[in-house]
Amino acid sequence: MLEKLAQLEEKYDQLGTLIGDPEVIADLPSWQQYVKAHAELAEVVSAYRDYKKIIKEFQDTKTLLDEDTDAEMKQMAQAELDELAEKKEALEKQLRLLLLPKDPNDEKNVIIEIRAGTGGEEAALFAADLFRMYARYAERQGWKTEMLGANYTDIGGFKEVIFLVAGKGAYSRMKFESGVHRVQRIPTTESGGRIHTSAATVAVLPEAEDVDVEIDANDLRIDVFCASGHGGQSVNTTQSAVRITHLPTGIVVSMQDEKSQHKNKDKAMKVLRARLLDRAQKEHQEKVASTRRSMVGTGDRSERIRTYNFPQSRVTDHRVGLTLHRLNEVLEGDLDEIVDTLVTIDQAEQMKQVG
């Protein structure tokens, strides 16, 4: 580990020299690349330098303890040694985490797709609850949300809703939300007071840039049509709605929320790129026999991951056995305890595999 850290520190210093070089500054794309690489190494190098200071202080204090014959000084030195040992252990743990292979998507924005599953209108209402939960969580994190498309029901639910969450580290915090979410409650449409179980599926996709996914225009079929509102009512008479079909994969994306055909096309392409990137990454993972299958799941949308039980005000994440009895707070976007647990266990699993 120390050899690897020393190499990273050397690389960090080299990059620092490069970004201050006038010739490199003149080449803006290269300079930006070096600045980004330098910033990515800053945290681990800072922690490593702190670690080296602690090691030196530890050795100096140990020498003092071994040489000093004064009982009071020995006691003080031992207390300091114990404190330094704790700091050393904490920094070693931090450095091991920082050296774990990073998910290249962690810093990306995310596109979240929520679809009502079994349960009819109640499932659609639950999909709307999940949308509000994530929107409020994003607000707590200082992220921005943008609605990309939605298929509403007459009583305020969503058959499907697609939205963008933009902010630093959004994917790193949201990626564990993919899967089947279940709700157990008495539906507003239930007159007999019986508890029903409904479900919605959540897909969290890293937003793809043009450089991440190459799309050949010849592979696309683009259809335009008039948008329609609730109950099929015509909401405009111009062909502003857009449906894009990616012919090689059969992926279809439709957008009609905007009055502008151009804006709907842009949003549809954004979602298409994300779906194609997600598909390519999943295919790659399946080809690699050693793909990590951690306790927090694979991100498979068919995997049941969480249950929201209203009668008991209980939320249970089935992957890690975490149960919280504060359903209302969770639905208001207080997801940090759940997310932190998932991130911690995922890191622990990675550390086991790294050895």
Question: Is 145 a residue whose pLDDT tops 90?
Answer: yes
Tokens of 245: 């079909």
Nearest to 124 by CA among 164, 183, 165: 183
Nearest to 182 by CA among 116, 133, 110: 116
Please give the residue that has the higher pLDDT: either 64 or 159: 159
Q: Which CATH fold would you assign to the domain 110-211+297-354?
A: Alpha-Beta Plaits (3.30.70)
Report pLDDT for 166.
95
Please give the residue that has the higher pLDDT: either 14 or 212: 14
Question: What is the band of 62 on the pLDDT scale with cuts at 50, 70, 90?
Answer: confident
Phi, psi torsion values for 109, nearest 5 degrees: -70, 165
Question: What is the band of 65 on the pLDDT scale with cuts at 50, 70, 90?
Answer: confident
Report pLDDT for 226.
82
- 261-278 pLDDT, tens digit per residue, is 889 998 999 999 899 988
Question: Is 212 a residue whose pLDDT tops 50?
Answer: yes
Residues 275-305, buried b or exposed e (16+ Cβ, 10 A)? bbbbeebeeeeeeeeeeeebebbebeeeeeb
- 242-251 pLDDT, tens digit per residue, is 999 999 999 9
* Distances 147 to 89, 182, 317, 355 between C-alpha atoms, Å: 45, 23, 27, 42
Report pLDDT for 130.
97
Gyration radius of the chain over CA positions:
26
Question: What is the band of 237 on the pLDDT scale with cuts at 50, 70, 90?
Answer: low
Question: Is 231 a residue whose pLDDT tops 50?
Answer: no
Tokens of 221: 């079929």
| pLDDT (average), residues 164-193 | 89
Question: What order do you get walking across the sheet with 251-255 strand by strand?
Answer: 220-225, 241-246, 251-255
The domain locations on the chain are 2-98, 110-211+297-354, 217-285
Phi, psi torsion values for 249, nearest 5 degrees: -105, -15
Question: Is 235 a residue whose pLDDT tops 60?
Answer: no
Question: Is 238 a residue whose pLDDT tops 90?
Answer: no
259 close to 237: Cβ distance less than 8 angstroms: no
Beta strands in 44-137 (DSSP E): 110-116
> What is the C-alpha to C-alpha distance for residues 327 and 313, in angstroms, rounded to an integer?
5
Top-tier CATH class for 217-285: alpha beta
Burial degree of 104 (CB within 10 A; 0-12, 13-18, 19+):
exposed
Question: Is 192 a residue whose pLDDT tops 80?
Answer: no
Report pLDDT for 311.
94
